[in-house]
């Protein structure tokens, strides 16, 4: 599940145009914040954009799993495969993290 890039840069940006979240496939609309992630995997550069909800969820899983970088685009597939008690742990972490970032926005 972990997919470590050789190097990466992650920024939180405010969308100037519509982007698609690489995890939930929903539109990131202009004015909405998103994570812009550039990385190099096996010598190949890639760019992934995630809405804040998916980004926080991914960070929560990485934190619990002690994994620095899970593969992009597999978040929901991964969530399907985990047990409900584990899911609760991830959700609790995510809710805390989400509340924190919501406070940060105000």
Give start and end residues of each alpha helix (H) in the chain. Answer: 52-65, 75-81, 84-105
Q: Which stretch binds Zn ion (CB under 5 A): 34-42, 52-60, 68-76, 79-87?
A: 52-60
Residue 95 CB neighbour total at 10 angstroms: 12
The site for Zn ion, by CB under 5 A, has a size of 5
Q: How far is the CB of 20 from Zn ion (least distance, A)?
A: 9
- Beta sheet of 7-14, edge-to-edge order: 7-14, 33-41, 44-51
Q: How far is the CB of 64 from Zn ion (least distance, A)?
A: 19
- For 49, the 3-state DSSP assignment is strand
Q: How far is the CB of 40 from Zn ion (least distance, A)?
A: 23
The rounded distance, in Å, linking the Cα atoms of 19 and 32 is 10
Binding residues among 58-77 for Zn ion as defined by CB under 5 A: none
Nearer to Zn ion, 25 or 87 (CB): 25
Among 19, 34, 35, 51, binds Zn ion (CB under 5 A): 51
Binding residues among 3-32 for Zn ion as defined by CB under 5 A: 21, 23-24
CB 64 within 8 A of CB 93: yes
Binding site for Zn ion (CB under 5 A): 21, 23-24, 51, 54
């Amino acid at each position: 599940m972990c997919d470590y890039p050789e190097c990466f840069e992650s920024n939180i940006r405010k969308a100037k145009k519509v982007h698609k979240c690489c995890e939930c496939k929903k539109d990131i609309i202009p004015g909405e914040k998103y994570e812009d992630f550039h990385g190099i995997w096996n010598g190949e550069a890639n760019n992934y954009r995630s809405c804040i909800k998916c980004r926080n969820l991914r960070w929560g899983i990485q934190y619990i799993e002690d994994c620095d970088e899970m593969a992009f685009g597999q978040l929901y597939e991964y969530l399907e495969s985990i047990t409900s008690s584990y899911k609760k742990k991830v959700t609790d972490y995510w809710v805390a993290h989400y509340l924190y970032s919501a406070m940060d926005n105000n």
